[in-house]
């Protein structure tokens, strides 16, 4: 069922869309995180639009914290499974899953349920390895060269699969902020001009597809949370090849105006996309 | 006893040593990861250690599981120092290094009685000191020594060397090695060099004298030696002996059943039986009263002297300020009992450091006084206390760390975070940061943000989301300190303010 749709499509958006007239951002609400993820990608035109036969694909969830899926600090394993399976079905030769975690990596990989699920779906699960850091130039306004795990640079396609949640300093963490996970080094330093840094990061590194898990949403005390009373079920997934529009739509789903989110404001200033949800071609449906 | 039987027994002994060493390292390595429910097994060898039975008897409350230590004590009355020869993993390592250093033609060295006495005197001195609550048995106990050395040096060291070797090789090999052999992050320890030099030194001393540590230093070996002299099992020479002294060739303590049989030193290794060309050595059970009772003469005066030294030495920590100081600059792991009791119960084994997943627990250097050397301290700049973890409290064999459930541990206050306002970006520089706030694991957030205006270093007024600590909510886990992005000193630090110390029940 079509609930709402964007009024206007900017020239930028139209240029990126695969099919003329197709929605730029898909938001699906439904009864199973796995199914709504599949549906959202299908509505975008299918995974074949983003993945070519023989591609090595990085699927980058948020595995930042030693928390269970119920605590909604990490990407839902079922959303991840759907993305991995779709990538393989579209012809991916290999799917890699990894993150640079905030808590101890093994704990996060295990408790989030992501390691087990990704393995079962046939993906290769890697830990971020300091010996694989290379300097990458983001050519941003504040973010220049920064160490990146080269795993992310050596793949053909990058699918960004964050979870939507509250974040104390940046307001929200969604897809653009999820790219912190490709970085090594003293990432905490980037909190200084966080909004500017997040925008530069997303501008200087391409996500070929963004799939945002909004099945359970941590609405307070993020990004680590822990208390189930801070978690609300939104039973949604948002998918788009346009990272900024995906984040703007997710912010709206969260109940926030993107214009009040620093990093989206900074992204808008960098002409990364529309900040007004009304100007984004958003198709919202229930599965 | 003929040589074939002797060889069979000798090989059984070697097999037994390998087996117990493998079990020991298996339990130790396993306690470093995986299922927390199996962690109490990590203390298995400690429960069979009578020195630690003594520790929990003195410090209380008594832990029944240490009654297991009566088993080797009773068996020693029957079999002599079999424990040293057949069971002890550190003994096995010493034996291995002795074997590495052994030449085909053995030089006959006469038994050196004076150094053999040293371990008894050390034991007596340590026991005497322990009566005055100065409990340092763990410094020399073989299980503490081996666990501590393996956890802080051997295992992380092997990991580091292996990683460097794999990095030099082809990438697929490195990737494979990293997946199956290496730890995800390299562990580091404050005192690795000190503990490592001592451990390596002790191993290398075996090249100078056979089983150096076991013969001259080990207090547990001393205890078994004192009992072993009364044991029923004894070696005896039969009339076939031609006095060739070949039996001394590989004797662990340079003795021989023929000439210098010291029952207290014999670890029942069966080397002499194998070396005897005449099958002249027999193994017999007999009452200690029958015939001569070969043993090392310790000397009443020397024993009294050692006790006096131990007692006198006990005064040193008692008059040191560490014990009575109202303030201290270190953090103890969760579940730690009161400092005085902690020092008495902690056996400096480092099992908690091995179990700590984040590398937060470190062997103290001198933070906790001379007496506290090698006791565990939580060092947030090295790692943080993981909110969802209570592993250290599960492995501590003597319950110097009370066995907290995960829920109890989440509530347990290790200390309190304080902000260094001259260093924190949100105070001193007028910049947003909040990395600590982000990481604070307390669901209600013990670190919070408030919107304020502060002057930056240019004197301009800036709007900042400034951090502040809610002391009552803070559990002192130290993750804030561990993630503070400052490169010089963390601008938020956890101190022992309001630290909770578990009061042992019963």
Helix A262-269 to helix A243-254 angle, to the nearest 10 degrees? 150
B437 CB neighbours in chain A (<8 A) are: 168-169
Q: Distance, in angstroms, between B360 CA and closest chain A CA?
A: 11
Distance between CA atoms of residues B199 and A225, nearest Å: 44
Nearest CA in chain B to A67: B388
The backbone region for B60, taken as left when phi is positive above 0, alpha when psi lies in -120 to 50, beta otherwise, is left
Residue B86 gets which letter from DSSP? I
Closest to B5 in 3D by CA, of B281, B245, B264 = B281
* Mean pLDDT value across residues B347-359: 95
SS3 A122: coil
Q: Is the dihedral of CA B64, B69, B73, B74 positive or negative?
A: positive
Nearest chain B Cα distance for residue A40, angstroms:
31
Q: Which of B422, B426, B467 is nearest to B446 (CA)?
A: B467
Whether the pLDDT of residue B267 is over 80: the answer is yes
Q: What is the pLDDT of residue B466?
A: 96
Of B178, B358, B434, the CB nearest to A168: B434
B292: pLDDT strictly greater than 70 = no
Helix, strand, coil in percent for chain B, rounding step 5: 50, 10, 40
Mean per-residue pLDDT of chain B: 91
Provide the whole-model pTM: 0.91
> What radius of gyration, in Å, describes the C-alpha atoms of chain B?
27
The H or E element containing residue B311 is helix B300-319
Q: Do residues A250 and A238 make contact, with C-beta atoms less than 8 angstroms apart?
A: yes
Q: How many CA atoms lie within 13 A of A51 on its CB side?
A: 30
Q: Residues B481, B492: contact at Cβ < 8 Å?
A: yes
| Dihedral angle over CA of B101, B107, B108, B114, nearest 10 | -50
What does the pLDDT profile of chain A (287 residues) look like in tens digits?
Answer: 344 444 444 444 444 444 445 789 999 999 999 999 999 999 999 999 999 999 999 999 999 999 999 999 999 999 999 999 999 999 999 999 999 999 999 999 999 999 999 999 999 999 999 999 999 999 999 999 999 999 999 999 999 999 999 998 889 999 999 999 999 999 999 988 899 999 999 999 999 999 999 999 999 998 999 999 999 999 999 999 999 999 999 999 999 999 999 999 999 999 999 999 999 999 999 98
Inter-helix orientation angle B300-319/B113-130, to 10°: 40
Q: Does the interface predicted TM-score (ipTM) exceed 0.90?
A: no
How many inter-chain contacts (A to B, CB under 8 Å) are there?
Answer: 77
pLDDT number for residue B15: 98
Label the pairing between strands A282-286 and B461-469. unpaired
The torsion angles phi and psi of A124, rounded to 5 degrees, stand at: -90, 125
In chain B, what is the straight-line distance between the N-terminal and C-terminal CA atoms, in Å?
Answer: 53
Distance, CA of B334 to CA of B9 (rounded, Å): 47
Alpha-carbon gap, residue B325 to B344, rounded angstroms: 17
Q: What is the pLDDT of residue B38?
A: 73
Antiparallel, parallel or unpaired: β A56-61 and A94-97? parallel
Residues of chain B above pLDDT 90, percent: 73
Check residue A13 and give its pLDDT. Answer: 43
Structure tokens at B418: 């304080």
B425 contacts on A by Cβ (under 8 Å): 192
Cβ contact B217:B118 at 8 Å: yes
B408 part of contact set with chain A, CB < 8 Å: no
Phi, psi (deg, nearest 5) at residue B149: -70, -40
* A221·B33 Cβ contact <8 A: no
Residue among B388, B431, B438 whose CB faces A168 most closely:
B438
Query: CA B426: distance to chain centroid?
Result: 42
**Quick check: A169 contacting B, CB < 8 Å?**
yes
Tokens of B24: 């020991």
Which residues of chain A make contact with B438, given a CB cutoff of 8 A?
Answer: 102, 167-169, 223-224
d(CA B37, CA B286): 46
Q: What is the DSSP string of B248-307?
A: GGG-TTS--TTT---TTT-----HHHHH-TT--EEEEE--TTSS--------HHHHHHHH
Domain A23-286, CATH 1.10.3430 — does that match? no
Write out chain A residues lying below 8 Å of B407, CB-based. Answer: none
* Dihedral of alpha carbons B166, B359, B321, B58, sign: negative
Q: Say if residues A79 and A34 touch (Cβ distance below 8 Å).
A: yes
Q: Which H/E stretch holds residue B449?
A: strand B447-455
| Cβ burial B99-138 (10 Å sphere, 16+ → b, else e) | eeeeeeeeeeeebeeeebbebbbbbbbbbbbbeebbbbbb
Dihedral of the alpha carbons of A250, A255, A259, A263, in degrees to the nearest 10: -50
Rounded CA gap, B148 and B109, in Å?
Answer: 33
* Contact assessment for residue B147 and residue B298, using Cβ atoms and an 8 Å cutoff: no
B444–chain A Cβ distance below 8 A for any pair? yes
CB < 8 Å to A223, chain B: 438
């Amino acid at each position: 069922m079509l609930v709402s749709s964007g009024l206007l499509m900017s020239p930028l958006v139209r240029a990126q869309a695969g099919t003329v007239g197709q929605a730029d951002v898909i938001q699906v609400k439904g009864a199973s995180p796995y199914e709504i993820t599949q549906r959202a990608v299908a509505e975008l035109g299918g995974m074949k639009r983003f993945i070519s036969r023989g591609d090595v694909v990085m699927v980058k969830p948020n595995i930042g914290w030693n928390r269970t899926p119920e605590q909604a600090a990490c990407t839902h394993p079922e959303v991840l499974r759907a993305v991995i399976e779709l990538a393989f079905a579209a012809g991916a030769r290999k799917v890699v899953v990894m993150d640079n975690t905030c808590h101890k990596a093994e704990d996060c990989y295990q408790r989030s349920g992501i390691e087990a699920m990704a393995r079962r779906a046939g993906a290769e699960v890697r830990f971020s390895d300091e010996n694989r850091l290379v300097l990458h130039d983001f050519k941003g306004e504040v973010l220049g060269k920064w160490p990146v795990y080269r795993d992310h640079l050596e793949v053909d396609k990058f699918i960004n699969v964050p979870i939507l949640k509250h974040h104390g300093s940046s307001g929200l963490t969604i897809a653009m902020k999820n790219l912190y996970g490709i970085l090594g080094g003293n990432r905490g330093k980037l909190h200084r001009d966080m909004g500017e840094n997040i925008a530069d990061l997303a501008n200087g590194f391409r996500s070929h597809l963004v799939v945002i898990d909004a099945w359970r949403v941590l609405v307070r005390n993020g990004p680590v949370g822990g208390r189930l009373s801070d978690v609300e079920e939104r039973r949604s997934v948002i998918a788009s090849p346009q990272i900024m529009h995906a984040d703007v739509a997710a912010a709206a789903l969260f109940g926030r105006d993107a214009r009040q989110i620093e990093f989206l404001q900074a992204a808008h200033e960098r002409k990364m996309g529309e900040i007004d949800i009304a100007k984004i071609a958003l198709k919202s449906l229930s599965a | 006893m003929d040589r074939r039987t002797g060889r069979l027994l000798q090989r059984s002994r070697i097999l037994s040593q390998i087996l117990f060493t493998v079990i020991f390292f298996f339990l130790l390595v396993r306690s470093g990861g995986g299922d927390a429910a199996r962690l109490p097994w990590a203390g298995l060898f400690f429960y069979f250690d009578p020195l630690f039975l003594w520790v929990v008897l003195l410090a209380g409350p008594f832990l029944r599981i240490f009654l297991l230590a009566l088993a080797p004590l009773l068996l020693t009355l029957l079999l002599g120092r079999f424990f040293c020869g057949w069971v002890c993993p550190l003994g096995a390592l010493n034996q291995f290094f002795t074997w590495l250093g052994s030449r085909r033609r053995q030089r006959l060295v006469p038994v050196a009685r004076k150094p053999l006495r040293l371990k008894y005197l050390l034991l007596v001195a340590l026991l005497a000191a322990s009566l005055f609550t100065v409990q340092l048995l763990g410094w020399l106990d073989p299980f503490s020594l081996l666990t501590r050395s393996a956890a802080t040096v051997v295992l992380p060291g092997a990991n580091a060397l292996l990683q460097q070797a794999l990095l030099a090789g082809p990438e697929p090999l490195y990737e494979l090695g990293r997946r199956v052999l290496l730890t995800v992050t390299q562990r580091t320890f404050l005192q690795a060099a000190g503990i490592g030099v001592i451990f390596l030194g002790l191993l290398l001393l075996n090249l100078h004298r056979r089983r150096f540590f076991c013969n001259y230093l080990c207090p547990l070996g001393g205890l078994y030696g004192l009992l072993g002299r009364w044991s029923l099992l004894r070696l005896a020479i039969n009339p076939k002996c031609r006095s060739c002294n070949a039996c001394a060739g590989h004797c662990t303590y340079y003795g021989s059943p023929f000439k210098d049989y010291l029952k207290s030193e014999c670890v029942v290794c069966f080397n002499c039986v194998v070396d005897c060309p005449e099958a002249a050595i027999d193994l017999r059970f007999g009452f200690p009263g029958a015939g001569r009772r070969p043993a090392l003469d310790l000397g009443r005066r020397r024993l009294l002297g050692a006790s006096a030294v131990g007692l006198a030495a006990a005064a040193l920590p008692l008059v040191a300020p560490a014990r009575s100081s109202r303030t201290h600059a270190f953090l103890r792991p969760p579940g730690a009992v009161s400092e005085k009791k902690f020092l008495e119960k902690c056996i400096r084994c480092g099992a908690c450091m091995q179990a700590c997943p984040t590398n937060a627990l470190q062997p103290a250097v001198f933070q906790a006084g001379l007496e506290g050397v090698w006791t565990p301290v939580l060092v947030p700049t090295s790692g943080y206390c993981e909110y969802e973890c209570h592993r250290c409290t599960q492995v501590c064999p003597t319950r110097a760390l009370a066995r907290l459930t995960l829920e109890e541990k989440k509530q347990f206050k290790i200390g309190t975070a304080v902000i260094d306002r001259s260093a924190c970006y949100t105070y001193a520089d007028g910049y947003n940061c909040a990395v600590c706030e982000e990481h604070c694991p307390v669901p209600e957030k013990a670190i919070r943000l408030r919107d304020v205006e502060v002057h930056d270093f240019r004197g301009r007024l800036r709007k900042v989301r400034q951090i502040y600590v809610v002391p009552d909510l803070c559990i002192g886990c130290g993750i804030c300190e561990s993630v503070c992005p400052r490169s010089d000193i963390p601008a938020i630090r956890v101190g022992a303010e309001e630290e909770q110390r578990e009061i042992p029940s019963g």
